[in-house]
A and B are shown apart, each in its own frame.
Chain A
Amino acid sequence: QSALTQPPSASGSPGQSVTISCTGTSSDVGGYNYVSWYQQHPGKAPKLMIYEVTERPSGVPDRFSGSKSGNTASLTVSGLQAEDEADYYCSSYAGSNNFKVFGGGTKLTVL
């Protein structure tokens, strides 16, 4: 059960857009449209931001969007705001054997 690969850090200025990648294999990200993204502020529980690659839960701003190409999923945050500064984790269904796998996390800094 190898973790999905995310860049350790990303950054952008307020108002800019930032994209965070999440690379897996054909056994997880590439094999299923079940990629989720979570936001975690320091000392807090994770919060679901995107599910099933592109879907946003109610209450999540439309500045957050998801996509996938092959074995790589991406989270794009547009119109960066100070409160977007947090750790972001991707997750994917990985089949009946491995079930669920997370990425290592990306620390997003708003400059």
Chain B
Amino acid sequence: EVQLVESGGGLVQPGGSLRLSCAASGFTFSGYAMSWVRQAPGKGLEWVSAISGSAGSTHYADSVKGRFTISRDNSKNTLYLQMNSLRAEDTAVYYCGKEANYYGSGSTIDCWGQGTLVTVSS
């Protein structure tokens, strides 16, 4: 059974940093691209970032480009999202998702974690 478990969320001040983790199990982690998707309180889903199976290719939404960095450790079956220069508008539940193919392009997120809440506030 595919399982994705996010961690690392919490309360952080504006301008601060946070690193999210997503522990994966139940599938060959290195064989699939992974994504981060966020959902602000009471709002819709917003795709944040994606990374290919080998980490050779990364993609970012304009809203986080230059501030967030996606990475993965295939030896630990873990996905990361390093978030710097955080703003109030980054407050959201952050979900990690398994893409249905290796590159992520033209793919769909076929499995989601339960999410971790990030709150940016002073």
Contact = CB atoms under 8 A, between A and B. Distances in A.
B109 A48 contact: yes
Contacts of A64: none
Interface residues of A, number: 25
Contacts of A105: 44-45
A99 B110 contact: no
A104 interface: yes
Contacts of B61: 1, 99
Contact of A101 (B47, B95, B109, B112): B47
Interface string B98-114: 00100011111111111
Interface in B35-68: 35, 37, 44-47, 50, 59, 61-63
A91 interface: yes
Contacts of A103: 44
A93 B104 CA distance: 9
Contacts, number: 65
Contacts of A36: 108-109
Contacts of A1: 61-63
Nearest to B60: A99
A45 interface: yes
Interface string A33-59: 010101010000111100110000100
Taking each of A45, A51, A91, which has the highest tally of chain B beta carbons within 10 Å of its own beta carbon? Answer: A45
Nearest to A3: B44
Interface of A: 1, 3, 32, 34, 36, 38, 40, 45-48, 51-52, 57, 89, 91, 93, 96, 99-105
Given A40-B45, A46-B37, A48-B111, 16 more contacts: A1-B62, A3-B44, A3-B46, A36-B108, A36-B109, A45-B114, A45-B115, A46-B95, A46-B109, A47-B112, A89-B45, A96-B59, A100-B35, A102-B46, A102-B47, A105-B44
Interface of B: 35, 37, 44-47, 50, 59, 61-63, 95, 100, 104-115
